[in-house]
Structure 1
Amino acid sequence: MAAKAGFRKPRRIGIIGFGHLGQYLTTMIEDEGHQHGLELAFVWNRSREKMDGKVRRELQLEFLSESMQRSADLIVEVAHPQIAQEYGEEILKHADFMALKVTMTKHPDSFKLEGSLQEQKESGSSQRTVLYEGPVRQLCPLAPNNVNTMAAAAMAGHNLGFDQVQGCLVADPSLLDWHVVDIEVDGPVDESSGHQFTVKSTRRNPSSWGAVTGAATYASFWSSVLKCKGHGGKLVLC
């Protein structure tokens, strides 16, 4: 049967993770996806019962290993960095893959930390505290849910990489309504004048107290889904 003139096959989107972001993206695709040529391929969550009554049964994926059978064009991971580590290579064989998180200076309760950083946070402080300052490589395993902005910068700045890009993680108990990220870029020092080119930007993302994800991040994820149209198996950083 010949396709109708002008008909375009919808891009099928798979969602890995059904926390706040996963729920938001699922709702947006179900409610507005048809306007953008998108349809939901599947939703997976470690606790499947969390999807009951919110995701149609036929779209619930029981085992993540079955995602390849759902013919997704784009798979969005909003679960845990371990998912990308375990399944990212296999997923990229079948679909575009986005690993999407935002790291900011936050209230201590907004951090999900490991090892020594978690112990340092639990020790408690009523003052603004620098939890870590140093190469991004050492920070990544200690704050896997909170360092994606830094990791993306390390990948984008390929001439510096994870060992030379510096990360600074700050816990601020007074930061009740915002997540803040500061990015500073230093150029080479001019030998004749001793001056150095520097660019600094600050982003303040509204956030409720204790939330891991800032309010503006939801719309950012949705915009990224709409713009991701075939990247040849590349990892998309947002």
Structure 2
Amino acid sequence: MRVGVVGFGHLGQYLVQQIEEHASLELAFVWNRTPSALDGIQKDLILENLSDFADRKADLIVEVAHPNITKQWGATFLGAADYMIGSPTALSDAALETELRKAAVSHGLYVPSGAFWGGEDIKKMADRGTLQALKVSMTKHPTCFKLNGDLKTKNDQVTDKKVVLYEGNVRGLCPLAPNNVNTMAAAATAAHNLGFDKVTGCLVSDPSLTDWHIVEVEVWGPGNIENNTAFHVKTVRRNPANVGAVTGSATYASFLSSMLGAKGKGPGVHLC
């Protein structure tokens, strides 16, 4: 499988290394907004202009750069190859999500589960219409967030106590934390009967959390939620992470596994 990588930050560098070392993968191209950061990449593998991507005949294009890449190029990529969206917060734009679903008629749009635990089980519940509610909570050290607007101001004021920065629907959160809540975007995609408007996201800034990112997923299924008789599962994922790290260390291997699984499912939107 020929793979094109869009973005060469920490995750992009990791993926390029893994692709080059993997017997069944071939690097089709690497693109980065800042070409000077591509030192060490063979010149013939560097894609200078994204508009030339089709010439490289990639089977799969993987975005690990920014949600804006999907906004600008996602539908075009899907016209020529399978596309794995590493920044699924882009899908919180309802018009863009509709556009990409319409574009995924000959190739697949793959959404990596990342730190989202239990995604396939939740998708199965959504398929059957038995998923009633889903909440994803993420707790990180204040320096691990890249935030916009009021959320950035609120986080900048966190000193010694844990603070809930946001609790509400995932659609409203994604534009405020596009680099931090891809896990929640994956959850909203899997829970398609609820979607971005009905899946709850909770973002917590905790100065004492210097070694971990914590992701909690709560699921409610058949039964009565109000009298506490509904099916309920809660998982807690502790992902090792240094202070200032946007992505926890375990997420790298998870993303690689998602990339290896991003094939053979045909047109449409797929969790991987």
TM-score for the superposition, normalised by structure 1: 0.88
Query: How much does 1:68 deviate?
Result: 1.8
Give the partner amino acid of 2:145.
F
Please identify runs of 4+ aligned residues in structure 1 that moved more than 4 A. Answer: none
Counterpart for residue 17 of structure 2: 27
Query: How many pairs are equivalent?
Result: 223
1:207 aligns with 2:248: no
Q: Distance in 2 between matches of 1:171 and 1:150?
A: 16
Give the partner amino acid of 1:14.
G
Q: Distance in 2 between matches of 1:218 and 1:175?
A: 20
Query: How much does 1:194 deviate?
Result: 5.7
Query: How much does 1:188 deviate?
Result: 4.4
Task: Name the SS for the 1:144 alignment partner.
Answer: coil
Distance change in 2, residues 1:194/1:42 (3 Å): closer
Q: Distance in 1 between matches of 2:169 and 2:153?
A: 20
Q: Distance in 2 between matches of 1:115 and 1:194?
A: 37
Task: Name the SS for the 1:113 alignment partner.
Answer: coil
Query: How much does 1:235 deviate?
Result: 4.3
Counterpart for residue 222 of structure 1: 256
Task: Name the SS for the 2:140 alignment partner.
Answer: coil
Q: Select 1:124's aligned residue among 158, 161, 165.
A: 158
Task: Name the SS for the 1:43 alignment partner.
Answer: strand
Q: Select 1:68's aligned residue among 36, 39, 54.
A: 54
Q: Select 2:29's aligned residue among 28, 32, 42.
A: 42
Query: How much does 1:125 deviate?
Result: 2.7
Give the partner amino acid of 2:61.
I
Query: How much does 1:130 deviate?
Result: 0.4
Q: Distance in 2 between matches of 1:236 and 1:24?
A: 23
- The question of whether the paired residues in 1 share the 8 Å contact of 2:30 and 2:47 is answered with yes
Q: Distance in 2 between matches of 1:48 and 1:236?
A: 31
CA RMSD of aligned residues (A): 1.8
1:99 aligns with 2:89: no
Give the partner amino acid of 1:24.
Y
TM-score for the superposition, normalised by structure 2: 0.77
- The question of whether the paired residues in 1 share the 8 Å contact of 2:158 and 2:207 is answered with no
Counterpart for residue 133 of structure 1: 167
Q: How does 1:72-83 map to 2 (within 5 A)?
A: 72-83=58-69
- Rg: which structure is higher? 1
Query: How much does 1:85 deviate?
Result: 1.4
Task: Name the SS for the 1:184 alignment partner.
Answer: strand
- The question of whether the paired residues in 2 share the 8 Å contact of 1:113 and 1:144 is answered with yes
Counterpart for residue 41 of structure 2: 55
Provide, for residues 198-218 of structure 1, a one-character-per-residue CA deviation record: whole Å limited to 9, x for no partner. Answer: 110011111111111111111
Give the partner amino acid of 1:131.
L
Counterpart for residue 7 of structure 1: none
Provide, for residues 146-201 of structure 1, a one-character-per-residue CA deviation record: whole Å limited to 9, x for no partner. Answer: 1111111112112111111110001111111111100001224449x762221100
Identity of aligned residues (%): 58
Counterpart for residue 71 of structure 2: 85
- The question of whether the paired residues in 1 share the 8 Å contact of 2:215 and 2:236 is answered with yes
